[in-house]
Structure 1
Amino acid sequence: MRAFNIPKKKFNTSSYTRFVKPLQKIFHSIPLLESRGYRPLKMTFEDQLHALIFFHLQEHESARDLIQHLKEDDFAKECIAPSGGISRSSFSEIINSRGLKQLEYVFQSLCTQAQNVLPSKHSDLGELVSIDGSLIDAVLSMYWADYRKGAKKAKGHFGFDINRKIPLKIYLTEGNGAERPFVRSILSEGQTGIMDRGYQSHKNFDLLQDENKHFVCRIKTKTTKTILEEHTVDPNSYIFYDAMVLLGTPGVNQTQKPVRVVGYNIAGVKYFVATDRYDLTAEQIATVYKLRWDIETFFKWWKKHLKVYHLIARSTYGLMVQIFAGLITYLLMAIYCHEQFKEPVSIKRIRQLRNNIQNELRACGKNTQSDNRIVKEQTLYAKT
C-alpha cells in the first residue's frame, strides 16, 4: 500500500498536513502513474498533485510564477517540489500529457468524502444539482477552443451539489459547445437538476423521466402548453399558474410525457418553470429554482480566489488537468473549513491557513538555529 507523504521532507507543517489529510484515505487506491520509458519520472503523481494544489492555494497566476516559487520558497522547495526540482518546460510537458486519469479519480473520491462529511441543507427538497456552463478565456493558439471569429474560449459544463455547496461533475468543450447533451450525464438517478432556459429540451424532459432523473427548468414564456389538469392557486400568492401539461407543438416537438408547469411573479418578472416534481408545493418549486443561483456564487468565488482560469496549459488535456486540480483544491477547502471551524468555505479561512503555514515554517527555523542557518522570510505571491 502506498502512503501519501504529507509533507514529505524537511519541515513539519501541521496546518498543511490537516488541509490535505483527506487525500490519505484514497491515495493507496489511485491508479498508478508510471514512466512511459526507461527514464524515471521527473515528477511523480504525488509531486504533481502537491504542486497543483499549491498553485491554487497560493493564487499563482502563471506556471512561471509557480516554478519560481518552487525554487525559491523554503516551504515549497522542501515540501512541494520534486526532489531535484523541476524546470518550466518539464512541468508544462507533464501537465499537458500526464495525470488526468489520476486527478479525475481523486476528484470523484473527494466528492464522496465531502458528501459524507458536509451537512446537507434543503434535504426536504431532495438531492438538488444546479447545472450550468462557464466560459474560459483562451488564446488564439488554442485552435480547438472555437467560440467566434477573433476569439477563443473553452466551456466547462458543471454539476453543482446545492445541498452541500460543492462541485460534482465537469465536462469540457469548445466555447460554442452545446450544453443540453451533458444534462443526463451530470445527473444520477433520483437527483433533481436545476437549469435555466438555455437547457429547455422537450426530448430531454421525456428521457429524464424515463431514467428517474428529475428536473426543475425555466422555460420560455411563449412555449405552447396543452393543459391536461389545472391546479387551484391562491389569488393572493405570487404563484399564478400550476398545471399538468404537454409542452410544445403537437406533431413537432411536444413532450410525450406530461410535465408540471409552475408560474410565479417576482419583482414584476414572470417565471415559468417545468418540472416532474409532483411531491413539492408550487412555492417549493419556486424556491428550488431560486437555489440555482448558488452555482453562480461558486463560479465567482472559484475564479476570483483560486485563479483557476489563469491558464497553465493550452491543450484540452492540460486544461482538464488544471480544472480538476482547482476542483480538488476547493473540495479540500470545503472539508477543511467544516472540520476545523464548522463553516463554509471562505477566503478568511484560506488566508488564515496560508499564514499558519508561514508561522509554522518560522517556528521550525527557530528550532534549527543550532546549525547557524536562518530560515528566510517567505514571499507569498498571492494577492490577498
Structure 2
Amino acid sequence: MDKDTLFSSFGKWVTPLNSVKFTQRIEEMKQDKYTKKLTTKAYLLLFLHAQLQQREGLRAIADDALLDDFQRELGLTSISASQLSRKHRQVKPELLAEIFLDLVNQIRQMSTNSSSQVSGLKIVDSTTISLNLKKYQWATFRKTKSGIKVHLRLVFVNEDTVYPEKMVMTPAGNNDRTQMEQLIDETDAMYVFDRGYVDYEKFDYYCDKGLFFASRLKKNAYVRFLESFSVPSNSSILSDSMVVIGTPQKRTENVFRLIETFDSDGNRIRIITNRFDLDPEELGDIYRSRWAIELFFKWIKQRLTLKHLYGTSPEAVENQVYLALISYCLLILIQLEMKSKHSLTQIYRWLRVFLWKPSTVWVERIQRE
C-alpha cells in the first residue's frame, strides 16, 4: 500500500491496494472520524492477514497484532477483540466493494486472453453459507437454519484460472433469478449459468437486447421442436435443434437452440442457448466450463475464511465476503505480475511460509521454473 509495506512478502502481496484512492475514500466516508487507534487501513491489513492465515475468531486476530513484524505494518502495538468487532461492524461494505472492484480492473488490464477459447465467457452462479439461526435471524431461510447466498460473476484469466468480477450477497432464501439483472448486463459477453437461473421472460429479453447465454434446461421444460440439424456420428453431441420453449399458454417469443450432450460427469444434459453461430461441440465445451465456478467456491472455502464469521450483522458478514474476494484477487495479481506458471494454490502456500521474510524470497520462489 505504501513504501513501508514493500519489505515483507505480506507487504508485497497487499501492494496492489491503491493507497491514495483508499485514503481519499476513507476521508470521504468519514470512516476514521472518531478513530483513536484502529484505523481503517490497519483494520484492512489485520483482516486480510486473518483471511490468509484462516483465523477462526477475533481473539486470534488480536493476537496477530502482537507480532513485531506485523506491528511495523500496522502502526500499532496491540488491539483488543472488542475493538476489532466494533470496527468490523462499522466499516461500510461500500468501501470494501470499491477496493474489490479496483483490483478487478487491475486484473482486467493485466489479462490478455483475447485469443483464448474462454475469452468473453462470464459464469454466473451462487453458493450458500449456512449460519446459526439465533445469531443471524436477519438471514433466516429455514425453520432451523439461517444462511447467506453469495452470487458471483466469474471471468477467465486464461484456460485454467478465473477471478470474481462482481458479487451480490443476499439471504439464502432469495431465489437465484432475483439477481440476474445485476449479474447479466453486458452485451459483449457470453453468459453461462445453471438451471436455477432459467427464466423464459429473461431469455426473450436477452435476445431482444443482444445478450448471449447458455444454460442447462430443466428436465420438465416443455419444448416444441421446429427444426433438427444433423450431427456427426462420432460427436459428443446427441442432438442439435431449433426450438421454442414453454407451454402454449406461456412460451418464449424467440426461437432458441437446444443441444443435447454430456456434462463433465457423463450425465446427459440439455443446453438452451441463443447462439446459432457456434459449432455444437463448442457450445458443449462452453457449458462444461461452468464447472470452474464450482472449483472457485471450493478453493475459497478451503483456503480463506468464510465458514467462521467475525461478526453477526449484515454489514460485518458482507465485509468478510469482500475481504475473502480481495484476498483472492491479490493472489491473482501476483500470479499475473510474475507471469508465473505455478498454480494459485502453490503461490498461496509459499506466501504463508515466507509471510514475514523479505519479499524477494517469495518472488524468487514464484519465478523459478
User: Is the TM-score greater than 0.5?
Assistant: yes
Aligned AA for 1:118? S
Alpha-carbon distance between aligned partners in 2 of 1:309 and 1:336, rounded to the nearest angstrom: 25
Instruction: State whether residues 30 and 102 of structure 1, in contact with CA within 8 Å, keep that contact through their aligned partners in structure 2.
Output: no
In structure 1, stretches of 5+ residues that fail to align are 364-384
The 10-residue stretch of structure 1 (340-349 or 99-108) with the greater mean CA deviation from structure 2: 340-349
What is the aligned counterpart of 1:117 among 85, 89, 110?
110
What is the aligned counterpart of 2:267 among 261, 266, 269?
269
What is the aligned counterpart of 2:336 among 330, 335, 338?
338
Partner SS for 1:300: helix
Instruction: State whether residues 227 and 244 of structure 1, in contact with CA within 8 Å, keep that contact through their aligned partners in structure 2.
Output: yes
Alpha-carbon distance between aligned partners in 1 of 2:286 and 2:336, rounded to the nearest angstrom: 24
| CA shift for structure 1 position 37 | 9.2
Instruction: State whether residues 213 and 275 of structure 2, in contact with CA within 8 Å, keep that contact through their aligned partners in structure 1.
Output: yes
What is the aligned counterpart of 1:313 among 311, 314, 323?
311
| CA shift for structure 1 position 237 | 1.9
Instruction: State whether residues 127 and 192 of structure 1, in contact with CA within 8 Å, keep that contact through their aligned partners in structure 2.
Output: yes
The 10-residue stretch of structure 1 (152-161 or 218-227) with the greater mean CA deviation from structure 2: 218-227
Alpha-carbon distance between aligned partners in 1 of 2:175 and 2:336, rounded to the nearest angstrom: 36
Alpha-carbon distance between aligned partners in 1 of 2:309 and 2:150, rounded to the nearest angstrom: 14
Aligned AA for 2:98? Y
Instruction: State whether residues 258 and 272 of structure 2, in contact with CA within 8 Å, keep that contact through their aligned partners in structure 1.
Output: yes
| CA shift for structure 1 position 156 | 0.7
What is the aligned counterpart of 1:229 among 227, 230, 233?
227
Instruction: State whether residues 104 and 165 of structure 2, in contact with CA within 8 Å, keep that contact through their aligned partners in structure 1.
Output: yes
Aligned AA for 1:168? E
Alpha-carbon distance between aligned partners in 1 of 2:91 and 2:111, rounded to the nearest angstrom: 31
Aligned AA for 2:52? L
- Residues 353 and 225 of structure 1: CA distance in aligned 2, closer, same or farther (over 3 Å): same
Q: Which has the larger radius of gyration?
A: 1
Deviation by residue 1:182-220 (Cα, 9 ceiling, x = unmatched): 123112222222111211111111122233222110002
| CA shift for structure 1 position 121 | 7.6
Partner of 2:364: none
| CA shift for structure 1 position 227 | 2.4
The 10-residue stretch of structure 1 (27-36 or 322-331) with the greater mean CA deviation from structure 2: 27-36
1:180 and 2:174 aligned: no
Partner SS for 1:31: helix
What is the aligned counterpart of 2:79 among 83, 86, 105?
86
What is the aligned counterpart of 2:347 among 346, 349, 352?
349
The 10-residue stretch of structure 1 (61-70 or 113-122) with the greater mean CA deviation from structure 2: 113-122
| CA shift for structure 1 position 338 | 2.7
Alpha-carbon distance between aligned partners in 1 of 2:277 and 2:121, rounded to the nearest angstrom: 14
Alpha-carbon distance between aligned partners in 1 of 2:178 and 2:190, rounded to the nearest angstrom: 16
What is the aligned counterpart of 1:64 among 59, 78, 103?
59
What is the aligned counterpart of 1:256 among 253, 256, 275?
253
Aligned AA for 1:66? I
| CA shift for structure 1 position 346 | 2.6
Partner SS for 1:310: coil
Partner of 2:21: 27
Alpha-carbon distance between aligned partners in 2 of 1:272 and 1:279, rounded to the nearest angstrom: 18
Partner of 1:327: 325
Partner of 2:366: none
Aligned AA for 1:145? A
How many pairs align? 353
The 10-residue stretch of structure 1 (61-70 or 161-170) with the greater mean CA deviation from structure 2: 161-170
Q: Counterparts in 2 of 1:1-384, with a 5 A limit?
A: 4-5=1-2, 7=4, 13-24=7-18, 27=21, 31-33=25-27, 34-35=29-30, 39-70=34-65, 72-80=66-74, 82-83=75-76, 85-120=78-113, 123-140=116-133, 141-164=135-158, 165-187=162-184, 188-252=186-250, 254-265=251-262, 269-340=267-338, 342-343=340-341, 345-360=343-358
- Residues 110 and 146 of structure 1: CA distance in aligned 2, closer, same or farther (over 3 Å): same
Instruction: State whether residues 217 and 275 of structure 1, in contact with CA within 8 Å, keep that contact through their aligned partners in structure 2.
Output: yes
Partner SS for 2:329: helix
Aligned AA for 1:218? R
- Structure 1 runs, 4 residues or longer, greater than 6 Å off: none
Alpha-carbon distance between aligned partners in 2 of 1:173 and 1:282, rounded to the nearest angstrom: 35
| CA shift for structure 1 position 74 | 1.5
Deviation by residue 1:43-69 (Cα, 9 ceiling, x = unmatched): 332222212211112221212211111
Aligned AA for 1:99? K
Alpha-carbon distance between aligned partners in 2 of 1:25 and 1:323, rounded to the nearest angstrom: 21
Instruction: State whether residues 8 and 356 of structure 2, in contact with CA within 8 Å, keep that contact through their aligned partners in structure 1.
Output: no
- Residues 311 and 28 of structure 1: CA distance in aligned 2, closer, same or farther (over 3 Å): closer
TM-score (norm 1): 0.84
Instruction: State whether residues 184 and 208 of structure 1, in contact with CA within 8 Å, keep that contact through their aligned partners in structure 2.
Output: no
Instruction: State whether residues 71 and 77 of structure 2, in contact with CA within 8 Å, keep that contact through their aligned partners in structure 1.
Output: no
The 10-residue stretch of structure 1 (120-129 or 181-190) with the greater mean CA deviation from structure 2: 120-129
Instruction: State whether residues 113 and 119 of structure 2, in contact with CA within 8 Å, keep that contact through their aligned partners in structure 1.
Output: no
Aligned AA for 2:165? L
